[in-house]
Amino acid sequence: MSLEVAVIGAGSWGTALASVFADNGHRVHLWMRNPKQAEEVNTRHVNEKYLPDVRLSENIVASTDLQEVVHGKPVVLLAVPSHAMRAVTRELSPHLHPEVLLIHATKGFEMESLKRMSEVIAEEVSPAVAEGLVVLSGPSHAEEVILRSPTTVVVTSASEDRMLRAQVLLMNSYFRVYTNPDLIGAELAGALKNIIALGAGMSDGLGFGDNAKAALLTRGLAEITRLGVKLGAMPLTFAGLAGIGDLVVTCTSKHSRNWRAGYLLGQGKPLDEVLEQMGMVVEGVRTTNAAYALASREEVSMPITTVLYRILFEGTSPRQGVEELMGRGRTRENEYLGPYHT
């Protein structure tokens, strides 16, 4: 059955997911802020700023009118950066159909409250809509999804019915959608891996090799799992698509905005110049800040995150950061096998 779908946010991820819906036979209403960009999508069928090399389906229509895009649609997908989530959700909330299937695909935290995106959204929509909210996570660079390159993701929700509906709506021959009931885990894993991707890019930018990358991935997974579990996640989710899957893709792909930003930082560029040069959202920077605060609040050891925090916000150089990490005291690999040495 063909549905009217609203996609909110026309950066790379929103545009790629709009294409998935369009390929699945749905009519997509894509919201964006810039009228010139909307006209480009409607006349030339291209999103020049974010995915310039791909012709979009004529079943994707763009608009800058948020109310019109959302009003009465049975499916609404949010793909705005984490810093914009509360304001955008608040504005569209009165126009949501009471039985809407609401999905979000954003990977980050609200800085001020340290809340996950689904917690932020739940505070801005009706309880019934919040109850059925679906989170989409997993290893999925927009640049590959838009080319219909085989991709796997997970959807999760407190409502099994909504989770299954989202799976059916999004799944196709190149976009394979798994379900996972661990909403907290899938959401946290997807957000926290961006910190480690920054670190992996930095390691490459410093000229280190595969050993350093493997160390960052493995020890990074250990510490983001530690925080995730303390915040209510199931550990196995970190061994799945939203965890190790997304960690691998983001730490090893040149498509990754976080890896690329880390690479430039490793080469000695200051953070403000790096962010300016990127011109796209680098969620890992804010997420490092949020995770550093969460780790301190929850008393969870996160050495890589702590060092990255110092590099990003306190003037430690990437090289000093590596010395700090490598020079820490002796410890066990796995805390489940016994307590840390002191």
Ligand X SMILES: NC(=O)C1=CN([C@@H]2O[C@H](COP(=O)(O)OP(=O)(O)OC[C@H]3O[C@@H](n4cnc5c(N)ncnc54)[C@H](OP(=O)(O)O)[C@@H]3O)[C@@H](O)[C@H]2O)C=CC1
Site string for ligand 13P, 185-204 (x = CB under 6 A): ---------x--x-------
Interface of this chain with ligand 13P, residues 149 to 188, rule: CB under 6 A:
none
Give which of ligand 13P, ligand X, none residue 288 binds (C-beta under 5 to 8 Å, depending on kind): none
| Residue that has been written with the tokens 């909210």 in this structure | 133
Phi, psi of 11 (to 5 degrees): -75, -160
Report whether 213 belongs to an annotated binding site.
no
Tell me if residue 51 falls in helix, strand or coil.
strand
The answer for residues whose C-beta is within 8 angstroms of residue 216's C-beta and 6 or more apart is 196, 199, 200, 203, 251, 304
Contact 40, 47 (CB under 8 A): yes
Q: Which of 68, 40, 39 is nearest to 52 (CA)?
A: 40
**Which C-beta is closer to ligand 13P: that of 61 or that of 111?**
111
What span, in angstroms and rounded, lies between the C-alpha atoms of 265 and 26?
41
With CB under 6 A as the contact rule, the residue among 166, 249, 265, 295 that binds ligand 13P is: 249
Tokens of 192: 């926290």
Contact 135, 106 (CB under 8 A): no
Q: Report DSSP state, residue 47.
A: B
With CB under 6 A as the contact rule, the residue among 89, 106, 118, 256 that binds ligand 13P is: 256
Q: Is 81 in the site for ligand X (CB under 6 A)?
A: yes
With CB under 6 A as the contact rule, the residue among 128, 168, 236, 280 that binds ligand X is: 280
The nearest distance, CB 208 to ligand X, in angstroms, is 25
What span, in angstroms and rounded, lies between the C-alpha atoms of 312 and 316?
8
Give which of ligand X, ligand 13P, none residue 88 binds (C-beta under 5 to 8 Å, depending on kind): ligand X
Report whether 138 belongs to an annotated binding site.
yes
Q: Is 258 in the site for ligand 13P (CB under 6 A)?
A: yes
Report whether 50 belongs to an annotated binding site.
yes
With CB under 6 A as the contact rule, the residue among 5, 6, 7, 14 that binds ligand X is: 14
The nearest distance, CB 161 to ligand 13P, in angstroms, is 26
What span, in angstroms and rounded, lies between the C-alpha atoms of 222 and 18?
34
What is the three-state SS of 112-148? CCCEEHHHHHHHHCCHHHHHCCEEEECCCCHHHHCCC
The nearest distance, CB 70 to ligand 13P, in angstroms, is 24
**Which C-beta is closer to ligand X: that of 88 or that of 216?**
88
What span, in angstroms and rounded, lies between the C-alpha atoms of 199 and 262?
6
Site string for ligand 13P, 78-107 (x = CB under 6 A): -----------------------------x
The nearest distance, CB 32 to ligand X, in angstroms, is 6
Interface of this chain with ligand X, residues 217 to 276, rule: CB under 6 A:
none
Report whether 158 belongs to an annotated binding site.
no
Tokens of 316: 């430690």
Strand partners, 137: 154
Catalytic residues: 193
Give contact residues for ligand X (rule: CB under 6 A).
9-14, 32-34, 49-50, 79-82, 84, 88, 105-108, 140-142, 280-281, 283
Give contact residues for ligand 13P (rule: CB under 6 A).
107, 139-141, 194, 197, 246, 249-250, 255-258, 283
